[in-house]
Copies of this chain bind each other. A is one copy, B any other.
Amino acid sequence: MKFFEDLKVGDILPIGRHTFNAEEIKAFAQRFDPQLFHMDEAAAEKSHFGALCASGWHTAAAWMRLMVDQRRGQMEAAVARGEKVPSMGPALGLRDLKWLKPVYVGDTIDYKSEIIELRVSNSRPGMGLMTILSSGANQKGETVISFVSTTFVERREKL
């Protein structure tokens, strides 16, 4: 867990990997995106996707899950080492969410976030604003999803 002052533009934050199986792809789609190419193999084969693939919202939500787990792991490790843990705000939104390639059954998506901008918050001087470009790539190295988001990160030096 890093305070704002310890972050650098270009830093890569590893998020984790997730392999999408048919069962969870269908379960998500049934609940939130019931289009046939996300729910039925035979119908998906005849669609422009050519095979069953995950809802784009599922691919995004899988990033969120891994990110929360990753952040919690880092926080617990920092507490265990007796370190101070910076507070982080929730993301208030995101920009430029792109679904670039389908995510098919069996695809393993490797997610990461890269710091692309850092600045001190005007509205909350004790905090910095970290902007990250998050993306997920499949086992062939093709980027399937990307988006940009900004989060508050606590500053060590309170001015």
Contact = CB atoms under 8 A, between A and B. Distances in A.
Interface string A87-110: 000111111111110000000000
A interface majority secondary structure: mixed
- Copy number in the complex reads 2
Interface string A60-94: 11101100110000000000000000000011111
A31 B98 CA distance: 22
A113 interface: no
Size band of the A side of the interface? 20 to 34
B95 A33 contact: no
A144 to B, nearest CB: 12
Contacts of A32: 61-62, 64-65
Interface of A: 31-35, 55-57, 60-62, 64-65, 68-69, 90-100
